[in-house]
Amino acid sequence: MAEIQNEDVILEMKHIVKKFGTVTALKDVTLSVRRGEIFSICGENGAGKSTMMNVLSGIYPYGTYEGDIVYNGEVCQFHTIRDSEAKGIVIIHQELALVPYMTIADNMFLGNAIKSGIQVNDAEQKRRAIEVLKQVGLDEDPDTLISNIGVGKQQLVEIAKALLKDPKLIILDEPTAALNDEDSFHLLGIIDNLRKEKGITAIIISHKLNEIAASADSVQVIRDGTTISHIEITKEKPLDENALIRDMVGRPLNNRYPEHDSKIGEELFRVENWTMYHPIDTTRQVSKGVSFNVRAGEIIGFAGLVGSGRTETAMSIFGRQYGVNASGKIYLDGKKVHFPNVRSAVDVGVAYATEDRKTYGLNLISTIRENTSLANLRNLSKHGVIDQDTEVKIAEKFRKDFRTKSPTIEMPAGNLSGGNQQKVVLSKWVSTSPRVLILDEPTRGIDVGAKFDIYEIIDDLADVGAAVIVISSELPELLGICDRIYTMNVGTITACLDAKKTNQEELMKYMTATTPIDAESVFAPSLDKIELRERK
């Protein structure tokens, strides 16, 4: 690590060791952050990145770890998160801490209300909220409910909430994990402006290498709880992404996406003219005559901006999990089927791995083993009794295949990092050997090495004849793993493109288009008309 003059340093963490029982999460980790820089921390899921920041913010209090925190030249001993906030250190977690049915203003001042005597001064809170929301470029009425704005705007509310605490150092844990590229770079631009205009220092934990290359001044890599490297980024010396990947995963990845020879068969799953309305505003169409198909052995993708209706449409098709007054036709193997509930879809081999792992994907107090078998209990049971030996074998297999960072399958899912929780969600559904698998943001919050493993598993599913549908905000991911890509905007299909013949610019063009695609162009051609191509 390059030497940095102490007067330029806002934060040093020296020889940090953190243990959870017999498990050592951090092994002598050291870092040094310059004042006013954007400092990125990279590493695989479970490498210790979030643990390091929880130590810094006081979530893991002084006395529960070894080593020193030196902030503005002072050795600090934070016993609570309020202690660190009092010094100007504010952390924004990967999972947004917002109450959906409270207003933007109420969320911003939750636990930190402005009072006149014993009464909350609503007028002053609203004035301050408007003032700070402008600083993050969010033009929203502070009286708007959080549930009525998108995830990208919710992330800006979190930053505005942090600014109310007059921070000198902001820690952002995977701030763009749930955002598309456009919203991600807008958010990073806001952070850069705060650095320039207010002198705020930012520590960003991220897996998105293109964002790190574009925004960070320096990068520190942590692997298995140990400092691996510190990389300075300048215009003259841009980030070497391949070297960064090698440091993160401990091995080179010559290709981001596995080589795959698609073996596409006949049509397996078809949706025709699917229409669905918002669950609260029942006059508002969310899905507007959506039609698509996917063939056996094929991987199709859905690209769209936030609010395009991709997730809502998928949830509605999969057992009416979202929306009201849904109509349209669904065919499996050419036969019309009905999915009035989730069980009816699962029983015929249709599975849906949600992007919202905490609300819909996992039982956080149950173990990895129990969550992995949750969707497959009928096949694991005889006369109502679970075959525990088989259950353990399956859970252990997927823990290893997905490289889930946990010493045992008996660890509660709630104790895992966000990315490792996502792996358990995927394990739960892949273990059922589904015929049709819908994957909603399957690599959200997952490191580059584990992404490759997941892509291989997706390819393996396609190779045994499954039809795979991938919803993703990462356009390179869709281009790298899919055979065809559908684009959506405001609830309609706007294009169906050959993934080998398109690019990000064309995808973005159709993701913002307002004219629906011609109905005859939605469905893939029959088997005798397709050309099988090797995909790399």
pLDDT tens sequence across 274-303: 999 999 889 999 999 999 999 999 999 999
Residue 125 forms part of a structural domain: yes
Residue 135 has pLDDT above 80, yes or no: yes
Q: What is the CATH number of the domain that holds 191?
A: 3.40.50.300
pLDDT of residue 328: 96
For the record, the structure tokens of 320 come out as: 């009416």
| Per-residue pLDDT tens over the stretch 477-493 | 999 999 999 999 999 99
User: Percent of the chain at pLDDT above 70?
Assistant: 96
What span, in angstroms and rounded, lies between the C-alpha atoms of 323 and 102? Answer: 21
pLDDT of residue 527: 46
Q: Average pLDDT over the chain, rounded to whole? A: 89
- Do 247 and 107 sit in the same domain of this protein? no
Task: Tell me if 241 sits within 8 A of 209, measured CB to CB.
Answer: yes
User: Percent of the chain at pLDDT above 90?
Assistant: 60
Which of 394, 465, 453 is closest to 422 using CA atoms? 453
Which of 415, 484, 471 is closest to 442 using CA atoms? 471
Q: Which residues pair with 254 in a beta bridge?
A: none
Residue 534 has pLDDT above 50, yes or no: no
What span, in angstroms and rounded, lies between the C-alpha atoms of 327 and 277? Answer: 10
- Do 126 and 192 sit in the same domain of this protein? no
Residue 162 forms part of a structural domain: yes
Task: Tell me if 432 sits within 8 A of 398, measured CB to CB.
Answer: no
Confidence of residue 6 (pLDDT cuts 50, 70, 90): low
What span, in angstroms and rounded, lies between the C-alpha atoms of 127 and 485? Answer: 45
Which of 430, 419, 421 is closest to 352 using CA atoms? 430
Question: Helices 122-135 and 151-163: crossing angle, nearest 10°?
Answer: 110
Report the alpha-carbon angle 384-386-387, nearest 5: 135
Residue 249 has pLDDT above 70, yes or no: yes
What span, in angstroms and rounded, lies between the C-alpha atoms of 210 and 233? Answer: 13
- Do 280 and 410 sit in the same domain of this protein? no
What span, in angstroms and rounded, lies between the C-alpha atoms of 430 and 401? Answer: 11
Residue 139 forms part of a structural domain: yes
Q: What is the mean pLDDT of residues 484-504?
A: 94
Task: Tell me if 50 sits within 8 A of 417, measured CB to CB.
Answer: yes
pLDDT of residue 536: 38
Question: Number of C-alpha atoms within 13 angstroms, CB side, residue 322?
Answer: 20
- Do 161 and 175 sit in the same domain of this protein? no
Give the residue carrying structure tokens 């397709």.
530
Task: Tell me if 103 sits within 8 A of 143, measured CB to CB.
Answer: yes
Give the helix, strand, coil percentages of the chain, each rounded to 5.
35, 30, 40
pLDDT of residue 5: 45
- Do 344 and 460 sit in the same domain of this protein? yes
- Do 154 and 299 sit in the same domain of this protein? no
- Do 129 and 233 sit in the same domain of this protein? no
Q: What is the mean pLDDT of residues 492-501?
A: 94
Residue 531 forms part of a structural domain: no
Residue 526 has pLDDT above 60, yes or no: no
Residue 533 has pLDDT above 60, yes or no: no
For the record, the structure tokens of 109 come out as: 């001042």
Question: Number of C-alpha atoms within 13 angstroms, CB side, residue 181?
Answer: 16
pLDDT of residue 383: 83
Q: What is the mean pLDDT of residues 113-129?
A: 88
- Do 439 and 425 sit in the same domain of this protein? no
Domain with 204, as residue range(s), is 1-88+168-251
- Do 192 and 84 sit in the same domain of this protein? yes
What span, in angstroms and rounded, lies between the C-alpha atoms of 334 and 441? Answer: 28
Residue 393 has pLDDT above 60, yes or no: yes
What span, in angstroms and rounded, lies between the C-alpha atoms of 424 and 404? Answer: 8
Residue 528 has pLDDT above 70, yes or no: no
- Do 109 and 223 sit in the same domain of this protein? no
Residue 259 forms part of a structural domain: no
For the record, the structure tokens of 421 come out as: 């929780």
Residue 257 forms part of a structural domain: no
pLDDT of residue 320: 93
Give the residue carrying structure tokens 């039809």.
467
| Per-residue pLDDT tens over the stretch 407-444 | 899 999 988 877 788 889 989 999 998 999 999 999 88
What span, in angstroms and rounded, lies between the C-alpha atoms of 257 and 536? Answer: 7
- Count of other CB atoms within 10 angstroms of residue 236: 5
CA-CA-CA-CA torsion sign (179, 181, 183, 186): positive
Tell which phi-psi region holds residue 75, choosing left (phi > 0), alpha (psi between -120 and 50) or beta.
Answer: beta
Phi, psi (deg, nearest 5) at residue 15: 50, 50
What span, in angstroms and rounded, lies between the C-alpha atoms of 15 and 1? Answer: 14
Contacts of 115 (CB under 8 A, 6+ apart): 121
| Per-residue pLDDT tens over the stretch 345-386 | 999 999 999 888 878 889 999 999 999 999 988 888 888 899
Residue 532 has pLDDT above 50, yes or no: no
Residue 510 has pLDDT above 60, yes or no: yes
3-state secondary structure of 260: strand
Residue 529 has pLDDT above 50, yes or no: no
Q: Which of 111, 141, 166 is the last residue of a domain?
A: 166
pLDDT of residue 525: 65
pLDDT of residue 23: 82
Residue 260 forms part of a structural domain: no
- Burial of 202-231, coded b for 16+ CB within 10 Å and e otherwise, reads bbbbbbbbebbbbbbbbbbbbbbbebbbbb
DSSP 142-174: TTSBGGGS-HHHHHHHHHHHHHTT--SEEEEES
pTM: 0.75
Residue 232 forms part of a structural domain: yes
- Do 415 and 281 sit in the same domain of this protein? no
pLDDT of residue 1: 34
Q: Which of 433, 450, 466 is the last residue of a domain?
A: 433
Report the alpha-carbon angle 195-29-364, nearest 5: 85
Q: How many domains are contained in the chain? A: 4
Q: Which of 226, 251, 276 is the last residue of a domain?
A: 251
Residue bearing the bigger pLDDT, 348 or 210? 348
| Per-residue pLDDT tens over the stretch 18-59 | 998 888 899 999 999 999 999 999 988 778 888 999 999 999
| Per-residue pLDDT tens over the stretch 142-179 | 999 998 887 778 888 999 999 999 999 999 988 887 77
- Do 337 and 411 sit in the same domain of this protein? no
Task: Tell me if 10 sits within 8 A of 56, measured CB to CB.
Answer: no
Q: Which amino acid is at 505?
A: E
Confidence of residue 10 (pLDDT cuts 50, 70, 90): very high
Confidence of residue 520 (pLDDT cuts 50, 70, 90): low
User: Can you list the positions of beta strands (E) in 319-463?
Assistant: 324-332, 335-337, 350-353, 381-382, 385-386, 436-440
| Per-residue pLDDT tens over the stretch 51-103 | 999 999 999 999 999 999 999 999 999 999 999 999 999 998 877 789 988 99
